[in-house]
Structure 1
Amino acid sequence: MFELAVAFALIGLNGAFALSELAVVSSRKSRLRTMVEARRPGAHAALALAEEPGRFLSAVQIGITLVGILSGAVSGAALGDRLTAILLDLGLSKGLADGLGYGLVIAAITYLSVIVGELVPKHVALRDPEGIACRVAPAMRLIARVAMPAVWLLDASTRAVFRLLGQEASSASAVTEEEIRTIVAEAETAGVIETDERKMIAGVLRLGDRAVRGVMTPRTDVHWIDLDRDETEIRAMLMASPHARLPVGEGNPDNMLGVVQLRELVRPLMENEKVDLRAYIRPAPVLPDTLDALDALSALQAAEVPMALVHDEYGHFDGLVTPADILDAIAGAFHSEAQEPEAVQRQDGSWLIAGWMPVDEMADQLGIKLESSRDYETAAGLVIARLQRLPETGETCEIAGWRFEVVDLDGRRIDKILVSRLAA
């Protein structure tokens, strides 16, 4: 019975090592740091092991190796002899009893070691890696300190082998954007977050990759007031405008002076007073079109009026950006009577895409991957980049397993694109 108890104890010890190894390796450092700040017992030790996994893994491997050796040398041999003696008493020959005795003991110990000593502890560790890591970390740190010489030798040897292979011993632990998307998708499937929440998180991630020209209202769609026009025309434009703010220029859009807020003009307009529009002009930040959309949001937050003018490197007015444009990029476009939907799926599975649709949103909709470095921001820009020229109506190109056909032009601007999946 003593040998059997030793065998179970060694298998349990092996399971403890396997549990500790996977718990610490699977723990997220960000959650461990949060536990440290909350003064969770063992969290500091767990974070220390996660920050320096080389020595911890060496200590665990030493423990698992010693357990395996002891299991074979002590428990296996002793239990094998006992079982052999029992088989001899049952009338089996010496050779057959020896083979069956040791074979059955080895098979039983191996089975229990795999199930109780490996698989079950690892499944338990994956259910709550950070919590278990906090509980086992103090003991694992003590074992690593006791076995310091052997741990140092194994860790140094591992690093030397990696250097010979031309690689780093420690892998990068930074979470990638793709991993975040996968986690969010799993959370949606599990019902932790709603579908709309997942879409908004995806929008925030897209926003971080966009330049301000990818979220702005382009110059061709901007309604602006020209001070060179007579007062009657200006008054009519102000009265008819559906916007709360309008940019004001003098002569041409490249000479923008600022922004007026229509609420400040309501009283003089309604009372037919003479309006000196220059007195109502407020300064607006001027942003380069290459600025990140998130930096543009910061500029809008600090501005006197929440509207910024976007100019290219030559000083030409490209468009304007407002908080509503940023919200559109995150939550999706708010459709009005004057604006058609960005994308409509037809009965045959094809898509009718607006040329102005942001190309990253279109890529998510179609499930295609775009190059990380690109000079275009819209679906129309993608087609032009592929054709390397302005297309004519009816021209097509093939991109990532999809056929893009220009079905409508508004002057020289691509207005509608029909996107159909190519046959396999």
Structure 2
Amino acid sequence: MVVVEVLIVLALIALNGVLALSELAIVSARRARLKAMAAKGNRGASAALLLAKNPGRFLSSVQIGITLVGILAGAFSGATLAERFAGFLVTKGLGIELADTVAFVLVVAVTTYLSLIMGELVPKQIALRNAEGVAARVARPMMMLARIASPLVTLLDLSSQAMLRLFGQRGEPEQQVTEEEINTLVAEAASTGVVEPAEHAMIASVMRLGDRPVRAVMTHRRDVHWLDLDADEAAKRKTLLEAHHSRLPVAHGTIDEVIGVLDLKEVLDACLENRPIDWNALIRKAPVVHENIDALDAIEIFKSSKAHLALVVDEYGTFEGLVTTGDILASIAGQFHEGGDEASPGATPRADGSWLVDGAMPVDEMAALLHLSLPAPRDYDTAAGLALDQLRRLPKAGETFTAYGWRFEIVDLDGRRIDKILATRLPAEE
């Protein structure tokens, strides 16, 4: 008889563990994975999705089961087992009152210990290790439990909703995945080797690309190689020989008078076929985009254009630069060497923990590197823009400013352009 009662208590503790496991698994399971499993025909995953959509009723069902199990386990252990164990202690010479106290304390202690280990901690750890798999296995039994206890579940759910309204909590909780959560998930995958470091860097770059205006990835007008259509033939050929790109914008006299794009291959074809070069006939129209459109929108423009190059203008129609498919790719995969161009070094670590930052480095990349929390929106796109925003004037070499827990020193100027910045983390006390 005692063995049966012990087995009943153990079974109740195990049932409590199943309920606790089910609760945590379904609540913590990722819906995206459950949807993928359901798409493959996993009926348990479909049931888990239904339970996750209405967590109030599911939690009420589980709580009813846990409460009943706890009451029954307490009744068996405290009343039945403690009484039998007290009788056993009396036969060993203990007084009745002392035997009752010792038996009650020992039985409650052992039952509590087993409830914590078998009924809570171990099941919940199992649920956390494979939330989606466990949720798919227990979802259908949990739905059956909810149907059996439907009247009581409805009462508890309505009571809970009423109490939530008293605290100002209305509607269902929003299930949103933030960009920070995606970045954290990818970083965890990279740390465990599931995602390669290069893949991690590219995914982070793609995430940043959606927040960048096209001016942040374009080639500025001062760095644009262009062909002057009004120049003489020798000057035009010299420009083509010195060009490091396969396509050049063409303008009349000044870069502000851009009229289109020239494909150097077509010029080469004319030369190889000994045909006279008709410059006007070779000029192709290029799409014109505003500097504030998203870089991702530029990709859609490139898909519908054969130019692979777009002219960037400001709100007054002034030419500000150009953006190419190569610029978009470089913002994702990093800079490439092309011809005689020198790739921007970005940021170089130094032995003392500081960073030598190129002024043209995209400020969002610098923020990710130095773990800065920059305001959004902002009116600058480069590290040099951050310096100008903080100083509010053109600095001199050697000037410093502090921001976001770092000290920034203007190391070098190229005319009126900030070329190099030295970033040093401030001590914690500062």
Q: TM-score normalised by the shorter chain: which range applies? A: over 0.9
User: Partners in 2 of 1:9 and 1:267 — Cα distance?
Assistant: 85
**Structure 1 runs of 4+ off > 4 angstroms?**
270-273
Partner of 2:130: 128
Deviations 1:163-184 (A, max 9, x none): 2222346433212111112111
- For residue 247 of structure 1, the aligned residue among 243, 246, 249 is 249
Contact map agreement 1:162 1:169 (CA 8 A) in 2? no
Deviations 1:277-299 (A, max 9, x none): 11111121111111111111111
Q: Which amino acid aligns with 2:379?
A: D
Structural mapping, 1:127-206, within 5 Å: 127-168=129-170, 170-206=172-208
1:233 maps to 2:235: yes
Structural mapping, 1:299-314, within 5 Å: 299-314=301-316
Contact map agreement 1:310 1:320 (CA 8 A) in 2? yes
Q: CA deviation at 1:271?
A: 6.6
1:357 maps to 2:361: yes
Q: CA, structure 1 residues 191+63, in 2 after alignment: closer, same or farther (shift >3 Å)?
A: same
Partner of 1:387: 391
Q: CA deviation at 1:114?
A: 0.7
Q: CA deviation at 1:121?
A: 0.8
User: Partners in 1 of 2:351 and 2:164 — Cα distance?
Assistant: 55
User: Partners in 1 of 2:337 and 2:369 — Cα distance?
Assistant: 18
Contact map agreement 1:335 1:341 (CA 8 A) in 2? no
User: Partners in 2 of 1:160 and 1:368 — Cα distance?
Assistant: 43
Partner of 1:216: 218
Partner of 1:55: 57
TM-score, scaled to structure 1: 0.96
Q: Percent identity?
A: 55
Deviations 1:91-130 (A, max 9, x none): 1111111111111111111111110011111111122211
1:410 maps to 2:409: no
Q: CA, structure 1 residues 118+201, in 2 after alignment: closer, same or farther (shift >3 Å)?
A: same
Contact map agreement 1:42 1:135 (CA 8 A) in 2? yes
TM-score, scaled to structure 2: 0.95
Deviations 1:335-369 (A, max 9, x none): 56642411112222222111100001111221222
Contact map agreement 2:77 2:107 (CA 8 A) in 1? no
- Give the SS at the match of 1:248: strand
- Give the SS at the match of 2:335: coil
Partner of 2:30: 28
User: Partners in 2 of 1:189 and 1:321 — Cα distance?
Assistant: 34
User: Partners in 2 of 1:346 and 1:245 — Cα distance?
Assistant: 38
User: Partners in 2 of 1:320 and 1:49 — Cα distance?
Assistant: 52
Q: RMSD across aligned C-alpha pairs, in angstroms?
A: 1.6
Partner of 1:264: 266
Q: CA deviation at 1:43?
A: 1.7
Q: CA deviation at 1:396?
A: 1.4
Partner of 1:284: 286
Partner of 1:342: 346
User: Partners in 2 of 1:388 and 1:266 — Cα distance?
Assistant: 48
Q: Which amino acid aligns with 1:419?
A: A
1:93 maps to 2:66: no
1:293 maps to 2:295: yes
- For residue 402 of structure 2, the aligned residue among 398, 407, 413 is 398
- Give the SS at the match of 1:275: coil
Contact map agreement 2:244 2:341 (CA 8 A) in 1? no
- Give the SS at the match of 1:42: helix
- Give the SS at the match of 1:238: helix
Q: CA deviation at 1:239?
A: 2.4
Partner of 2:380: 376
Q: Which amino acid aligns with 2:326?
A: A
User: Partners in 1 of 2:283 and 2:155 — Cα distance?
Assistant: 73
Contact map agreement 1:254 1:315 (CA 8 A) in 2? no
Q: CA deviation at 1:270?
A: 5.3
Structure 1 residue runs without a partner (length 5+): none
Q: Which amino acid aligns with 1:5?
A: L
User: Partners in 2 of 1:383 and 1:309 — Cα distance?
Assistant: 27
Q: Which amino acid aligns with 1:315?
A: G
